[in-house]
Amino acid sequence: MIRSRKTRPRSVRLQPDGRSGLTFADVRRFGLTLPNAEDTTAWGSPMLKVNGRIFAGIPINKDAEPGSVMFIVDFAARDAMIEEQPDIYYTAPHYESYACVLVRLSRVNRDMLEDLLRMSHRHVSSKPPQRRRITKARKGTKATSRSRSKRA
């Protein structure tokens, strides 16, 4: 007897209201199709970056609700999104001073997720690439060319 496989990917679950329960795997899958996007981590949490700058990721602060994703947007867009649909978009005390919006993944569909990723990617990629930080060599380690040039 041949068993049929489910056609729906495992990371998508249907909620009682018919909306799909998206996960960060879905965020990552679509986000990596955008130009120059890379999968990385920051503070031990999965993030998506473009030009060395985060544009989406799993929020790490305890103020964020479980199942949320953070998208980098400008303050005006964030405020408008929260005002228009507070059941989907929100911010938390830790994130209020950052240009980002928190999104309840259980309340968005795939099209909304793709639009959010495009918007965030466009916003962040319009900024200049992140400059690499120059760090001093630690005691007992070999000095790098950058640290040698600073001493000279």
Q: Are 146 and 134 in contact (CB under 8 A)?
A: yes
The CATH fold of domain 13-130: Aspartate Aminotransferase, domain 1 (3.90.1150)
DSSP codes, 63-85: TSPTTEEEEE--HHHHHHHHHH-
Model confidence pLDDT, tens digit, residues 92-110 = 999 999 999 999 999 999 9
- pTM reported for the whole predicted model: 0.73
Residue 138 has which token pair? 């630690």
Q: Where are the domains of the chain?
A: 13-130
Model confidence pLDDT, tens digit, residues 6-21 = 433 334 344 444 455 7
The CA distance from 12 to 21, in Å, is: 6
pLDDT of residue 19: 52
DSSP state of 58: -
Q: Which residues on neighbouring strands pair with residue 57, listed in sequence order? A: 47, 70
The CA distance from 7 to 92, in Å, is: 37
User: Does the pLDDT value for residue 4 go beyond 70?
Assistant: no
The CA distance from 93 to 101, in Å, is: 12
Average pLDDT of the chain is 82
